[in-house]
């Protein structure tokens, strides 16, 4: 059974995935959490500093480690039994309290560092973040529903490429599409509404003045974060997807781009 976790108003969780101090990302973290703390009680999960283990393994299954079956379902049962490892329980408690989630990371090989992917794997368990059928609608509590509804998220990403090369016609692909697995496949899957991406382009070539400009830009955005409206995706429960979970043919006909899933 999925338990909805009402967030504590005025509470934020900043999940940070970069290994180096005195880096651009570190500057953004320090300035960002300082700016956000003017309006929120901010908890920080500095994954590298915590030496967070990203590998989902037997220890995440409690007494069920030797039972055959789907590992996600077994981890969900371990959650229901209170048998998840202490580090996962700590992260879940911070996330359950937060009404705003900030995910900050550098873009490595077109995605987040493995340590953040592992945080998703281990922390967003069945029963906690998503779950079983909604008895009224007969669909799983996912994609706009689940244990983390009522939250917004800001993705802060640094990219070494310029805005054109990682844009809609860029050789590296569109960043919005590259991060769709996070904004839609992780956040929206669990009911979290994503705000517009906060992207720092040309991150590898910024001089001191450029770094300061990016630090100020992030702080300024966070100063008005409460007033931002998220980009909502279509909800599974609203009946816009057929039995195969494909979007109905009468909606966005002829299109196959990821934008069809925006409400």
Chain segment 13-51, per-residue pLDDT in tens: 999 999 988 899 999 999 999 999 999 999 999 999 999
Of residues 48 and 263, which shows the higher confidence score? 48
Residue 196 has pLDDT above 90, yes or no: yes
Tell me what pLDDT residue 251 has: 93
Here the tokens at position 55 are: 């590998």
Q: How much of the chain, in percent, has pLDDT values that exceed 70?
A: 97
Residue 135 has pLDDT above 80, yes or no: no
Q: Which of 68-77, 86-95, 238-247 has the highest mean pLDDT?
A: 86-95
pLDDT band, very low/low/confident/very high, at 243 (cuts 50, 70, 90): confident
Residue 262 phi, psi dihedral angles, 5° rounding: -75, 135
CA–CA separation, 187 vs 152, rounded Å? 9
Q: How much of the chain, in percent, has pLDDT values that exceed 90?
A: 79
Here the tokens at position 199 are: 């992207």
Over residues 171-176, mean pLDDT: 89
pLDDT band, very low/low/confident/very high, at 2 (cuts 50, 70, 90): low
Q: What is the pLDDT of residues 216-238, one digit of tens each?
A: 999 999 999 999 999 899 999 99
Q: How many CB atoms lie within 10 A of CB 185?
A: 13
CA–CA separation, 217 vs 32, rounded Å? 10
CA–CA separation, 186 vs 95, rounded Å? 14
Tell me what pLDDT residue 165 has: 87
Over residues 165-194, mean pLDDT: 93
Report which secondary-structure segment, H or E, holds 231.
none
Tell me what pLDDT residue 148 has: 95
pLDDT band, very low/low/confident/very high, at 1 (cuts 50, 70, 90): low
Q: Are strands 131-133 and 41-46 parallel, antiparallel or unpaired?
A: unpaired
Name residue 158's beta-bridge partners. 106, 200
- Predicted TM-score (pTM) of the model is 0.94
Report which secondary-structure segment, H or E, holds 208.
helix 208-223
Which domains are seen in the chain, by residue range? 11-261 (3.40.50.360)
Concatenate the DSSP letters of all residues of 161-179 into one string.
S-TTTTSTT-TT--HHHHT
CA–CA separation, 226 vs 106, rounded Å? 24
Residue 157 has pLDDT above 70, yes or no: yes
């Amino acid at each position: 059974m999925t338990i909805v976790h009402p967030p504590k108003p005025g509470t934020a969780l900043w999940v940070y995935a970069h290994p180096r101090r005195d880096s651009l990302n570190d500057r953004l973290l320090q300035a960002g959490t300082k700016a956000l703390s003017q309006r929120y009680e901010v908890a920080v999960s500095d994954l590298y500093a915590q030496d967070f283990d990203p590998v989902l393994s037997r220890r995440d299954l409690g007494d069920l480690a030797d039972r055959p079956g789907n590992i996600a379902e077994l981890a969900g049962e371990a959650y229901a039994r209170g048998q998840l490892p202490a580090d996962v329980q700590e992260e879940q408690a911070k996330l359950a309290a937060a009404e705003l989630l900030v995910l900050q990371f550098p873009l490595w090989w077109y995605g987040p560092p493995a340590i953040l992917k592992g945080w998703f794997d281990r922390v967003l368990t069945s029963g906690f973040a998503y779950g079983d059928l909604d008895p009224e609608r007969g669909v799983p509590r996912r994609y706009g529903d689940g244990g983390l509804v009522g939250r917004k998220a800001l993705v802060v990403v640094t990219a070494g490429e310029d805005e054109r090369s990682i844009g809609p016609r860029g050789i590296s692909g569109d960043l919005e599409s590259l991060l769709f697995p996070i904004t839609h496949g992780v956040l929206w899957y669990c009911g979290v509404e994503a705000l517009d991406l906060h992207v720092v382009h040309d991150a590898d070539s910024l001089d001191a003045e450029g770094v300061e400009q990016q630090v100020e830009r992030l702080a300024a955005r966070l100063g008005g974060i409460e007033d931002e409206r998220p980009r909502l995706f279509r909800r599974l429960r609203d009946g816009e997807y057929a039995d195969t979970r494909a979007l109905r043919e009468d909606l966005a006909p002829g299109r196959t781009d990821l934008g069809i899933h925006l409400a």
